[in-house]
């Protein structure tokens, strides 16, 4: 425990105490880091020069182009939250599935996945679907716990489905490509949607009274008009998804550029729905400013803490603790996920990503764990931070817009089955890593030891033998001195520029090398 001294554990405990006291996380991290930085200088752990790296780290944060994707995606989600797209999708999809038991629940899950792929923010998805769907579901006999649970869970899918803000932050902290992180999240996000749909299917068979179909006068007839209405809501969403994700996967745009394209597409959709107004833009800018400034301040505080923590050999302490866990990489992953599951009761996903992930990433890399797989796995686990009773943010969002007759205990109890399903997905991804790695483009696999370069035109020189370029082999001269070809100078006969004493100047001997042919690489 104290192999590397008492300072690393004291720093960790100090950080936890500050957060339990309720002091803002960004300032807690910076205060603990600077306080122990002074102690580290006084106790001789490092020189004062060590802290001169802080300004460079601060500049690296504010000049990081990748983090520009956060305000772009946040602003895009803020506009789409108010542009009317979700209303059209939910109304059309609800009527499309309304004839079967659980039809509205199916619609909420499908629309939640689509909104997750175009907004990237949990608050927008949960609030929008709660305002539209929850009164309808309660009016037509849905169980309160089921209705609130499916809305909260379908909103948290946004955490995992690209272009999730969590994946952007994790890619930055793990030093990996955002595009690869998005590709790795495709499989688990599809599995999550499938698990939710299967759960609704089983419940509709076992307890159909908890989710009755809509009456015919509400859902209307399944005709071309309804299908056209559903497609009218789907097609703009698909176009926007291509603008954001398609351009990243095809290599046409960086995540930051794709976020800018998404903002333009969101504003175009708002204009199509005649809701693009200055108040809407001003509200979107205000929420974007708050989230972005919060992220930057947490990053500055966390980099201050992590620099001093490394100076105190904290990274070696963490690695020493975690690499000795029983079970190897699987034991490490199980421990880390339990640890993050507990932290998610108290910390936001930004705080977990900026504080905990930099400590865990070197250990995961030392154990040979693929960091893309590790990042996606952590992202799945951090979904639970929005569903934890009593501090889950998705539950708070839902409580703020739910009717008074919906009890808070019903919201909390309704979240528990969906929380279990999210943990099931964590276990599936741990024991089936191909669900993440299958989607990654690994490129051609080439063994460097199998590469053989053959340069034609050297006569009898083949294989590993070096060409002699017309020089004599290694040997000795008449006086017994060793001669190395290419490293000895020819004897001068007279001064440079004069003809040798023997008579006419001999033509220059050129090496027998045919340089007109390119080298052959096998």
Element (H, E) at 520: strand 520-521
Percentage of residues of the chain with pLDDT beyond 70: 80
pLDDT of residue 458: 47
Given pLDDT bands bounded at 50, 70 and 90, which one contains residue 256?
Answer: confident
Residues whose CB falls within 8 Å of the CB of residue 162, separated by 6 or more in sequence, listed in order: 117, 182, 185, 186, 189, 245
How many C-beta atoms lie closer than 10 Å to residue 391's C-beta? 14
Distances (CA, A) of 392 to 24, 166, 310, 344, 411: 18, 16, 32, 9, 11
**168: closest CA among 348, 376, 356, 337?**
376
Cis-peptide into 49, omega within 30 deg:
no
The answer to whether residues 193 and 425 touch, using CB atoms and an 8 Å cutoff, is no
pLDDT of residue 188: 92
Q: How far is CA 135 from the centre of its chain?
A: 35
Give CA–CA dist 19/14, Å, rounded.
9
Residues whose CB falls within 8 Å of the CB of residue 99, separated by 6 or more in sequence, listed in order: 213, 214, 219, 222
The answer to whether residues 204 and 460 touch, using CB atoms and an 8 Å cutoff, is no
Given pLDDT bands bounded at 50, 70 and 90, which one contains residue 268?
Answer: confident
Beta strand 520-521 with 453-454 is antiparallel
> Above 90 in pLDDT, residue 114?
no
Q: Quick one: average pLDDT of 36-65? A: 85
Beta strand 482-483 with 475-476 is antiparallel
Distances (CA, A) of 129 to 36, 112, 227, 246, 509: 46, 8, 21, 26, 85
Question: Both tokens of residue 348?
Answer: 């936001």
Q: How far is CA 414 from the centre of its chain?
A: 29
> Per-residue DSSP letters for 458-490?
-TT--TTPPP-TTPPPSEE-TTS-EE-TTSSPP
Phi/psi zone of residue 452: left (φ > 0), alpha (ψ -120 to 50 degrees), beta?
beta
DSSP assignment letter at 453? E
DSSP assignment letter at 450? G
pLDDT digits (tens, 9 = 90+) for 411-463: 888 888 998 999 999 999 998 988 888 877 555 555 555 666 665 554 444 44
Helix (H, G, I), strand (E, B) or coil at 356: coil
Distances (CA, A) of 96 to 201, 457, 511: 16, 74, 81
Please indicate whether residue 513 or residue 3 has the higher confidence score (pLDDT): 3
pLDDT of residue 463: 47
Question: Both tokens of residue 88?
Answer: 């059209």
Give CA–CA dist 519/522, Å, rounded.
10
Please indicate whether residue 459 or residue 94 has the higher confidence score (pLDDT): 94
> Above 80 in pLDDT, residue 340?
yes
Alpha-carbon dihedral sign for residues 460, 462, 464, 468: positive
Alpha-carbon dihedral sign for residues 400, 338, 367, 376: negative
Q: How many CA atoms lie within 13 A of 379 on its CB side?
A: 33
Cis-peptide into 329, omega within 30 deg:
no
Helix (H, G, I), strand (E, B) or coil at 454: strand
The answer to whether residues 191 and 434 touch, using CB atoms and an 8 Å cutoff, is no
* φ/ψ (deg, to 5) at 488: -115, 150
Number of helices (H), then strands (E), in the chain: 23, 4
Q: Where are the chain's structural domains?
A: 66-438
pLDDT of residue 513: 52
> Above 80 in pLDDT, residue 496?
no
């Amino acid at each position: 425990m104290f192999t590397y001294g008492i300072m690393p554990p004291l720093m960790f405990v100090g950080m936890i105490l500050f957060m339990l006291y309720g002091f803002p996380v960004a300032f807690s991290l910076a205060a603990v880091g600077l306080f122990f930085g002074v102690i580290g200088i006084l106790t001789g752990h490092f020189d004062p020069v060590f802290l001169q790296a802080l300004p460079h780290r601060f500049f690296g944060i504010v000049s990081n182009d990748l983090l520009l994707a956060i305000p772009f995606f946040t602003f895009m989600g803020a506009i789409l939250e108010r542009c009317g797209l979700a209303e059209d999708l939910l109304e059309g999809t609800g009527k499309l599935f309304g004839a079967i038991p659980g039809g509205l629940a199916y619609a909420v899950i499908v629309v939640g996945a689509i909104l997750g792929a175009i907004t990237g923010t949990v608050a927008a998805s949960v609030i929008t679907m709660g305002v539209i769907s929850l009164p309808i579901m309660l009016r037509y006999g849905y169980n309160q716990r089921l209705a609130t649970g499916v809305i909260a869970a379908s909103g948290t899918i946004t955490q995992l489905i690209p272009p999730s803000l969590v994946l952007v932050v994790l890619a930055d902290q793990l030093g990996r490509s955002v595009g690869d992180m998005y590709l790795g999240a495709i499989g688990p996000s599809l599995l999550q949607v499938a698990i939710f749909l299967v759960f609704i299917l089983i419940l509709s068979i076992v307890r159909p009274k908890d989710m009755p179909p809509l009456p015919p006068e509400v859902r209307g007839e399944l005709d071309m008009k309804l299908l056209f209405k559903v497609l009218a809501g789907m097609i703009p969403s698909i176009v926007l998804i291509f603008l954001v994700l398609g351009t990243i996967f095809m290599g046409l745009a960086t995540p930051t550029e794709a976020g800018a394209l998404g903002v333009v597409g969101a504003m175009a959709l708002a204009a199509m729905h005649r809701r693009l107004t200055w108040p809407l833009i001003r509200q979107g800018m205000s929420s974007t400013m708050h989230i972005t400034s919060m992220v930057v301040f947490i990053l500055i505080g966390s980099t201050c803490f992590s620099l001093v923590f490394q100076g105190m050999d904290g990274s070696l302490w963490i690695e020493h603790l975690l690499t000795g866990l029983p079970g190897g990489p699987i034991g490490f992953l199980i421990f880390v996920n339990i640890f993050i599951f507990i932290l998610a009761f108290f910390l936001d996903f930004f705080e977990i990503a900026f504080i905990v992930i930099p400590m865990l990433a070197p250990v995961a890399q030392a154990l040979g764990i693929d960091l893309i797989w590790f990042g996606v796995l952590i992202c799945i686990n951090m979904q639970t931070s929005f569903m934890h009773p009593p501090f889950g943010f998705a539950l708070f969002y839902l409580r703020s817009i739910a009717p008074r007759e919906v009890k808070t205990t019903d919201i909390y109890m309704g979240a528990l089955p969906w929380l279990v399903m999210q943990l099931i997905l964590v276990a599936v991804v741990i024991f089936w890593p191909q669900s993440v790695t299958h989607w990654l483009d690994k490129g051609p696999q080439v063994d460097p030891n199998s590469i053989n370069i053959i340069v034609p035109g050297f006569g009898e020189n083949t294989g590993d033998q070096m060409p002699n370029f017309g020089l004599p082999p290694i040997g000795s001269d008449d006086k017994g001195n060793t001669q190395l070809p290419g490293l000895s100078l020819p004897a001068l006969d007279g001064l440079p520029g004069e003809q040798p004493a023997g008579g006419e100047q001999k033509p220059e001997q050129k090496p027998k090398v045919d340089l007109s042919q390119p080298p052959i690489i096998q």
